[in-house]
Chains A and B, each alone.
Chain A
């Protein structure tokens, strides 16, 4: 509790910080221009098609929701498990969660064919079809966003009891939110690769591990560039949390994929596991994103080293992104089997997904917007604990979010 009263801002006048803000602002502008162009010209500028209707914005949206939702496990650890050592990072983490869920909602809105009608998603029970997982998730996302904001305000105002209550509410909504996001995919029977009741839980485990990993990376960088001393013990305890969650995620994935393969209608899943893009699954997602981090985090010496834990965390953050990409894009590529026999021509061909510049610039631009907001947050909000020894705040730099 000693640290909670002494949160400070950074000064934000260094050359590095200004350069970072400038670069992020330019990228954001590029993303905005890209959005306007694609809005006027239509989604033909994107890589999506009638076979793979969802592209990078949806990948980014579900990835960011996961990153955001998982951060609230810290609230659970502090208030229920009484782990007071996480208190010094809770403000930075909750602010990050708010920025990320905001970014996810921006991505969803920009992926709509008619983004000016996004408000229709929030006309709950009135203009909405409440059997749609999208409409149900609109409840989850908005209430999660609101509860996280209230929680953040309570934290900033040092309301101890209320922030505990709001922390638990935000944690609950976060789990519902990301479970609901998994249900968007898992409830679709028409897609063999998606149809799975494990999907919500898989999403939650992926969310928790990737967001804690992201938090480790960000904290180590922010603390280093602002000249603060991050306790090694904090990093390795977060690392062991990531480890446990990764094991859970792997277990769910094995069970889920085995269920898919066991059924005779396994063509689409075989395409994902052994098709031309399966290297992405085996090397990037399983190898680099899960096995290597697990080896590092189980290694008796490496798990005590901040450097190795950061390496493992970066791999997890990238690996979960690949997991999302692989789910949305190659997961839809296998053609629907409409009639017995071999479907000829384009109707039976695998879906293709060219990485179009408009889509990439848009995604990078929104990510830069989030990093910009997060970096500015450190300047204007008291997010970081005060330095223990040296009071001089000469050298500082803000983080690169996502």
Chain B
């Protein structure tokens, strides 16, 4: 069984947020107004935030694209009372909306703040998307055509794409089928693949460059790696 992971090259990221938008369009993540964004009730499965170092004129800026870390030891899975969030065999941490009771304990327990509560009933047809789009056959069924409010949502590593590709016998990762954020990135910042396969692009990158994982001290062992500038 593969162990899916992501490698993000911070040297290439320009902070254009294409990945965030591609994620919203792919997963039909509800739209949030600027007010909701400031109040932090707008859901973002994938976000890019800026980190500054120093004061003008000696200042630098890092852009950190941030999906769910899909930890090997996910605290959210430990605390979920309803078995609504669980780790699949391939390491992807999934949220099951039908089981989720909306207690928000996982949001509290997540050290990365990647979990989002759905605060309102999403409007129909928020994004322009020809439905079904002409060339969607290779990407599997649309996973979230409709939403309910009151449950917790998060990044899924686009598991529907992975599963469909495996069913069709296609290659997943590297130059094959990848999550929407990796596919959309104009700078090819995001790499996706099997961390257990020494031949995969992600393994090669991790072997050749310096990398960090976020909040390593939490012991969560994330599967999203960042290559340093």
Contacts and interface: CB of A to CB of B under 8 A. Distances in A.
A53 B37 CA distance: 15
B123 to A, nearest CB: 12
Nearest to A347: B49
Contacts of A332: 108
A114 B99 CA distance: 10
B28 interface: no
A53 B108 contact: yes
Given A134-B79, A338-B66, A338-B215, A53 B107 contact: yes
Interface stretch (B114-122, B124-132, B188-196): B114-122
Interface stretch (B147-155, B160-168, B172-180, B201-209): B147-155
Contacts of A390: none
A113 B108 contact: no
B156 interface: no
B30 to A, nearest CB: 11
Contacts of A237: none
SS class, residues of chain A in contact with chain B: loop
A229 interface: no
Contacts of A113: 100-104, 117-118, 149-152
Contacts of A49: 39-41, 119
Interface in B60-86: 61-62, 64, 66, 75, 77-83
Contacts of A134: 79, 81, 103, 105
B11 to A, nearest CB: 15
Interface in A305-352: 332, 335-348, 351-352
A2 interface: no
Nearest to B75: A190
Given A53-B104, A348-B49, A44 B41 contact: yes
Rank and list the top 10 A-B pairs by shortest CB-CB distance, nearest first: A113-B102, A113-B150, A42-B149, A134-B81, A190-B111, A341-B51, A53-B104, A347-B49, A135-B81, A44-B119
Interface of B: 36-41, 43, 47, 49-53, 61-62, 64, 66, 75, 77-83, 99-105, 107-113, 115-121, 148-152, 214-215, 218
20 contacts: A42-B150, A51-B40, A112-B150, A117-B101, A117-B102, A118-B101, A121-B101, A128-B81, A131-B78, A184-B105, A188-B79, A190-B111, A338-B66, A339-B49, A340-B51, A342-B51, A344-B49, A344-B51, A345-B49, A352-B39
